[in-house]
Amino acid sequence: MSLFARNLPRILIQTAQTTTARNIHNSVPSHNAAAGVQERPDVRTKCTLIPGDGVGPELVYSVQEVFKAAGVPVDFETYFFSEVNPTLSAPLEDVAASITRNRVCLKGILATPDYSHTGELQTLNMKLRNALDLYANVVHVKSLPGVKCRHDNIDCVIIREQTEGEYSALEHESVKGVVECLKIVTATKSQRIAKFAFDYAIRNQRKKVTAVHKANIMKLGDGLFLKSCEEMAKLYPKIEFERMIVDNCTMQMVSHPQQFDVMVTPNLYGNIVDNLASGLVGGAGVVAGASYSTSSVVFEPGARHTYSEAVGKNVANPTAMLLCASKMLRHVNLPVYGDMIRNAIDKVLRDGKIRTKDVGGQSSTQEFTYAVIHSLQLPTAS
């Protein structure tokens, strides 16, 4: 591969930034906020970076600036990966190989074009998940300090199976005007996601797992998913288990979300509940997520919106992407840096002086990023 081709993703990311956003680089404080951290420059972590579409490159730029100011020992292997601009996109095989090799990835949201007239059924997101077997999507929905919403003290985790179900991409038009869409549910994958949910509850001192289903109508498909969860629950007697029909679940979420702890869902229901829950704590710009396989993790915002209409306007909220980066640092055993960034975000939100339009303010992406950088502090010794 030529030198230009290798650098193409970085070139594309840089040209996507507005002039205002680029000014952050010139105004970053000269001191290193992590100067007191015991750094080992010979031991650095390499992570795959996918900027994504829409405002994704701008949000990733915020992460890179915060990492630079905090002295985070992470090197990014960047790939331009897009379905809306396929001629410039890196091949799926190269991106999957990079994530497999690095075992961790920070990813912006990929836009999905309308392929209703081309016959293409699998989106690029689906192809990447299947290539890496990213079967478990985890979205932690938690109330943030300083962000006023209808409900307070929300703290729930939505665990979604995302390799089968309604997103199996098995559709065909049997006769003119009649489309058959297959929903695939298997015992193996249902048991796997159920076990993941209960294991997550144990590891994170959670007390209850709620299985979300529609087995009263889809008696075989959702019935198999629910049966798998029920059987798995017997192996975890210390974790409370409950069943909830998905339509009742959405009503309970908007009326009394504090009742939920860990939720395990099939593919489509999880997608809907993720977005609903994100709206309860401030919107798509403030919720982080991650997708897990047995060997790798992809960190990306929990509510998947590209906000293409906001590109270049310096108004996108980088909170979700920064929270993803913080979680990624904890995952790669750099908790001091992860906590430093998380604490800085909390301080900026708690102060309330700098906030983007989506959470009731008038600040720009640049201003929020700069505020986080100036709030970076070493964690106090316990």
Q: What is the pLDDT of residue 293?
A: 97
User: Does 159 have pLDDT greater than 80?
Assistant: yes
Compare 115 and 336 and report the one with higher pLDDT. Answer: 336
Q: pLDDT per residue over 363-372, tens digit each?
A: 999 999 999 9
Q: pLDDT per residue over 113-143, tens digit each?
A: 876 555 678 889 999 999 999 999 999 999 9
Domains of the chain in start order, with CATH, are 1-29+40-136+287-382 (3.40.718.10), 150-280 (3.40.718.10)
- The strands making up 104-107's β-sheet, listed across from edge to edge, are 74-78, 45-50, 104-107, 297-301, 288-292, 136-142, 155-161, 262-265, 208-213, 240-245
pTM of the model: 0.87
Alpha-carbon distance of 245 to 251, in angstroms, equals 10
Q: What is the pLDDT of residue 5?
A: 43
Q: What is the pLDDT of residue 171?
A: 86
Q: What is the pLDDT of residue 230?
A: 97
Q: What is the pLDDT of residue 37?
A: 53
Q: What is the pLDDT of residue 310?
A: 83
- The share of the chain scoring above pLDDT 70, in percent, equals 87
Compare 10 and 303 and report the one with higher pLDDT. Answer: 303
Alpha-carbon distance of 125 to 130, in angstroms, equals 9
User: Does 29 have pLDDT greater than 90?
Assistant: no
Q: pLDDT per residue over 109-121, tens digit each?
A: 999 887 655 567 8
Q: pLDDT per residue over 240-289, tens digit each?
A: 999 999 999 999 999 999 999 999 999 999 999 999 999 999 999 999 99
Q: Are 234 and 191 contacting, i.e. CB atoms less than 8 angstroms apart?
A: no
Q: pLDDT per residue over 180-206, tens digit each?
A: 999 999 999 999 999 999 999 999 999
Q: Confidence class of residue 19 from pLDDT cuts 50, 70 and 90? A: very low
Q: What is the pLDDT of residue 271?
A: 94
Q: Tell me the pairing of strands 136-142 and 288-292.
A: antiparallel
Q: What is the pLDDT of residue 26?
A: 45
Structure tokens that stand for 375 in this block: 């709030």
Q: What is the DSSP letter of 284?
A: G
Q: Are 241 and 209 contacting, i.e. CB atoms less than 8 angstroms apart?
A: yes
Q: Tell me the pairing of strands 104-107 and 45-50.
A: parallel
Q: pLDDT per residue over 44-62, tens digit each?
A: 999 999 999 999 999 999 9
